[in-house]
Copies of this chain bind each other. A is one copy, B any other.
Amino acid sequence: MRQVSFRDVGLKYTLSPYEEPVLHVKPGESLKIEVEDASSGQIRARGDRRDRSQIPFGNPVVGPIYIEDAEVGDSISVAVEEITPTIGQGATYFSEFNEGYLSSPPIFRLMKMRLPREPKICKIEDGKVHFSEEITIPYQPMVGTIGVAPHPEAESISSGVLPGRHGGNMDLPDIRPRSTVFLPVFHRGALLYLGDVHAAQGDGEISGTAIEMPAEVKVKVDLLKGEETVWPRIETEREVMFVATTSAGRSLEDAIRIAFLELVMWLEERYGLERFDGLMLCSQVGKIKIGNLWTAAAGIEKKYLEMLR
Q: Which of A105-152 contact B (CB under 8 A)?
A: 105-111, 113, 115-116, 120, 129, 131-132, 134-137, 151-152
Q: A158 in the interface, Cβ–Cβ < 8 Å?
A: yes
**Contact partners of A304 in chain B: CB under 8 A:** 135
**Contact partners of A205 in chain B: CB under 8 A:** 283
Contact B105 A254 (CB under 8 A): yes
Q: Contacts A18-B18, A253-B249; is A111 near B109 (CB within 8 Å)?
A: no
For the complex, give the distance between the alpha carbons of A76 and B62 in Å. Answer: 34
Q: Contacts A107-B103, A258-B106, A282-B202; is A307 near B155 (CB within 8 Å)?
A: no
Q: Please name the 8 residue pairs, one residue from A and one from B, whose CB atoms are nearest each other, closest first.
A: A202-B286, A246-B249, A207-B283, A105-B257, A203-B288, A156-B156, A104-B254, A249-B294
A residues at B contact (CB < 8 Å) = 13-14, 16, 18, 56-57, 92, 94, 102-111, 113, 115-116, 120, 129, 131-132, 134-137, 151-158, 161-162, 200-211, 245-254, 256-258, 260-262, 264-265, 275-277, 279-288, 290, 293-294, 298, 300, 304, 307-308
